[in-house]
Structure 1
Amino acid sequence: MAKVDIELDAELVVEVMVLAGIGSPQDAVEAVVRDYIARGHRTEARVRAQDGPRRQADAAEPPPQG
């Protein structure tokens, strides 16, 4: 996997380390990024699950005539 070097505010990284209970700055930031991505995937799945029945109901109704 490719690696990227970035600079972050030290206070921000320490806050993440404390909240996540992770001793390594790199591991703590990686955990936050992975959580953010997973949250996005869960949100997309919920939207698809809620939107699916609506689309099926809309498709089942005949178009209005008149």
Structure 2
Amino acid sequence: MAKVSISLDAELVVEVMVLAGIGSPQDAVEAVVRDYIARGHRTEARVQSRDDSRHEPDAGQYQPPQG
């Protein structure tokens, strides 16, 4: 995987390290980024399942007898 180097404010990185409970600045920031991405994927999946359920007829909905 390709690597990217960025500069961040030291106070921001220390805060991330404390909140994540991770001693390495690199690992702490990486954990936060991975969590952010995973959260985005979970949100997309929830929205998609909600949209899909709108297109399916509701099985619990009353349907008049036929015949």
User: TM range, normalised to the smaller chain?
Assistant: 0.7 to 0.9
Identity of aligned residues (%): 82
Letter in 2 for 1:32: V
- 2 CA distance for matches of 1:53 and 1:33? 31
* 2:26 maps to 1:26: yes
Structure 2: unaligned runs, 5 residues or longer? 58-67
- Report runs of 4+ in structure 1 exceeding 3 Å deviation: none
TM-score with structure 2 setting the length: 0.81
TM-score with structure 1 setting the length: 0.83
- 2 CA distance for matches of 1:7 and 1:53? 44
Structure whose alpha-carbon radius of gyration is higher: 2
Equivalences, count: 57
Secondary structure at the counterpart of residue 43 of structure 1: helix
User: Whose helix proportion is higher, 1 or 2?
Assistant: 1
Shift of 1:31: 0.2
